[in-house]
Structure 1
Amino acid sequence: MSQGKPQVHIQEEGMREGMQIESADIPASEKIRLLDALSQTGLKRIIVGAFVSPKWTPQMAEVEAVIDGFTPVEGVDYTAIVLNPKGAERRAAYGHKLTLPDPTLGRSKIHLCDVFVRRNINRSQASEIEQLEQSVANAAANGITHAEISINAAWGSNWLGGFDEDERLRLLQLQYDAWTAAGIPVTRIHLGDPMSWNTPSAVRSTLRRILKTFPEVRDYHLHLHDARGMAMLSAYAAIEELDERHSLLIDTAIGGMGGCPYCGNGRATRMIPTEDFAHFLESEGIETGLDIDKLVEAGTIAEEVVGHELWSKVTAAGPRPTGDRVYAMDMPFVETFEQAQHFRQGPKVYQGALSPWREPVTSPVRDAYDARIAAEKEN
């Protein structure tokens, strides 16, 4: 019997992971325009920003204005990131527009890279481990009933090199044991990769070990950066390792924008482009419920908002043309990115381009194709 696929969910990170590495001068009105466009695509999980210090992340200085200004769509979970109690207090004031965290879910995280955690949140790996027992005790006292365990910088570091499988499992096991000792089952595992060290083979190997070690865990969450071009391949490797018993949440960002300023790669860190990943999943027969055309429009808006080209291939070239959306046979040469936008803007974008054909291009095979598509539409 063939193995079924897990339930795959997409979480949109462009408004947080993307905007935090873009210009601080982007006005809130433009961010609202992009957020409203994303809300129309069928996405069910959108992170709208982060309640963090504007001193160190000035791009989030107007997060309240963005939340005040956008128009929520029913059925979409809008969330925001916080790093401390002050941020949580600010977020709580927007419970009427945001989906607040599940109060019954506890979370713990240990970074494999001691340098990154010091740069990012001014803590050490040792302090994370030392505080684990007390954090779990506090969670149990506050009525937590299930938990997520997490490792960050899971596969490697730009300062310390790669990490081995045994270390990944050791740090997950530490957290698992702490929660289960408190009588709280672990139901989710999160793997983060801020410095783009993921590879398909590494992700595949890690998941195989995790599945063998924690077989009762059903829910997984991957946050993969794409500086080295492997994130979508690694995400697919994860899909292949899991089965119909599991759910897999994948973080993506419109246009592929994203990056942590603490990692050393800036905007080149990137994320999996949401529109590319949705197109990929649909091509593999995995339904997403997303409107690819609207994602492309959102990707175009994202480029306008940030003021430069982004990295989505589907926004640049369009989805695979099918049905009556196949290209005109006698279209002229198409050479530029601007001309390639004919799939959404029509023939006006390539008017005047070189065209070597003296007569219109015709094909009996295309005629038969057009007839078949017309008949299918009638029926």
Structure 2
Amino acid sequence: MGAREAGLPDVVPGASLPSAVTIWEVGARDGLQNESAVVPVAVKLEFLDRLAASGLSVLEATSFVHPKWVPQLADAAEVLAGLKPAPGVIYPVLVPNERGLDRAVEAGVTHIAIFASATETFASRNLNRTLDSQFEMFEPTVARALEAGMSVRGYVSMCFGDPWEGPVAQSQVVAVGERLLGMGCSQVSLGDTIGVATPGQVESVLAGFRDVSSLAVHFHDTYGQALSNTLAALRCGVTTVDSSAGGLGGCPYAESATGNLATEDLVWMLDGLGIETGVDLDKLVETSVWMAEQIGRPSPSRVVRALSK
């Protein structure tokens, strides 16, 4: 059941809102990576199957990050080997470097994502690189991926605030994002890693880019601003939004990061605005309730809680 099925009036989107939005579902990767108890491969595969059945067309499946850093995703190759792709669904995989790319190629992956930082401190802590030298790691990875016919997405963390450095300059975010696009990334996702952004700040950062059509947004809900920030981004021309089923996830390298924007909450808002997503909200809620049972913790999504009573 969506907002319209609940008896709420239809809202015709204004000229500044898109008619459709692509949801980049990160629940199986970003959503699960922080879980302390290892989720079995069979559960991860069923999670992906259920997400696909709900109508989501982009499912970030896993990551080839070293198991030492993210133990939950040590089974990446196993998950991909057991995956039965649904028609019309893509399954991107996060890779940190050329070693990760080698594993992705071996697994037959067609879409990868790399992850960068907009701040010096997070680049050091997360990538063991400086803000500038991180690109030395990305360039050969992206070049090889493109040569292999892969599509490459770039993530940029700490775009709106950093727990060590505080507010992040718009020019810094734009410089990193534009460099990734210039390198060959087909899309760059701007991440509010610790969830401190506000709509005005989102508009300001997006205004610095030459073309927002190649941008996506990735909001965390620490201060309850994820939906407001998403709406601001949509009004600026963004049409791809990252979210996590049930609101699962955070960032293992930033203690102040809380859960991702819940996909159900996003779909409810978009449905109420008359913006097409292709998602069956009832099926998605059922999936998140099921997943919450698997990990032994209720979903923080307000929509999941409201529709599963």
Q: TM-score, normalised by structure 1?
A: 0.69
Deviation at 1:15, TM superposition (A): 0.5
Aligned to 1:64: 77
Contact 2:123 2:131 in 1 (8 A): yes
| 1:281 alignment partner, one of 270, 291, 303 | 270
Which deviations, in whole Å up to 9, do the C-alpha atoms of 1:191-243 show, x marking residues without a partner? 22222232111001222332xxx15x53221122222221121111011122x
- The answer for the alignment partner of 2:227 in structure 1 is 232
Assess, with a 3 A threshold, how the Cα gap between structure 1 residues 40 and 125 changes in structure 2: closer, same or farther: same
2:40 matched residue in structure 1 = 27
Match of 1:337 in 2: none
Q: Normalising to structure 2: TM-score of the pair?
A: 0.83
Measure how far apart 1:289 and its partner are: 0.9
- Which residue is equivalent to 2:259? 270
The offset of 1:169, in angstroms, is: 3.7
Q: 1:5 aligns with which of 6, 17, 20?
A: 17
Residues 224, 272 of structure 1: 8 Å contact kept: yes
**Structure 1 residue ranges without an equivalent (≥5):** 319-339, 342-379
Match of 1:250 in 2: 241
Confirm whether residue 53 of structure 1 aligns to residue 38 of structure 2. no
> What's the counterpart of residue 194 of structure 2?
195
* C-alpha distance in 1 between matches for 2:236 and 2:263: 21
Q: Give the whole-Å Cα distance in 2 for the aligned partners of 1:109 and 1:63.
A: 17
Q: Report sequence identity in percent.
A: 31
- 8 Å contact 2:98–2:140 — kept in the other structure? no
Alpha-carbon distance, 1:282 to partner: 0.5
Once the two structures are TM-superposed, the CA of residue 50 in structure 1 deviates from its matched residue by: 0.8
Matches within 5 A, 1:122-201: 122-128=128-134, 131=136, 151-172=156-177, 188-201=187-200
2:111 maps to 101
Q: Give the Å deviation of 1:173.
A: 5.7
RMSD over equivalenced CA pairs, Å: 3.2
SS at match of 1:32: helix
Q: Which amino acid aligns with 1:221?
A: A
State the number of aligned residues. 295
CA separation of 1:90/1:132 partners in 2, compared to 1, >3 Å: closer, same or farther? closer
- Is this contact kept in 2: 1:14–1:252, CA < 8 A? yes
Q: Counterpart of 1:362?
A: none
Contact 1:24 1:58 in 2 (8 A): no
Supply the distance in 2 between the matched residues of 1:11 and 1:149 (Cα, whole angstroms).
13
d(CA) in 1 for partners of 2:188, 2:21: 15
Deviation at 1:308, TM superposition (A): 0.5
Question: CA–CA distance in 2 between the matches of 1:64 and 1:137?
Answer: 20
List alignment gaps of at least 5 residues for structure 2: 1-13
Q: CA shift at 1:94, angstroms?
A: 2.6
Which of 1 and 2 has greater Rg?
A: 1
Task: Give the AA of the match of 1:120.
Answer: N
- Using a 3 Å threshold, how does the CA distance of structure 1 residues 304 and 238 change in structure 2: closer, same or farther? same
CA 77–198 in structure 1, closer or farther in 2 if over 3 Å, else same: same
Aligned position for 1:18: 31
Q: Do the aligned partners of 2:127 and 2:134 also contact (CA within 8 Å) in 1? A: no
* Distance in 2, Cα, partners of 1:39 & 1:148: 20
Q: Is the contact between residue 22 and residue 277 of structure 2 (CA under 8 Å) also seen in structure 1?
A: yes
Q: Which range is displaced more, 118-127 or 248-257?
A: 118-127
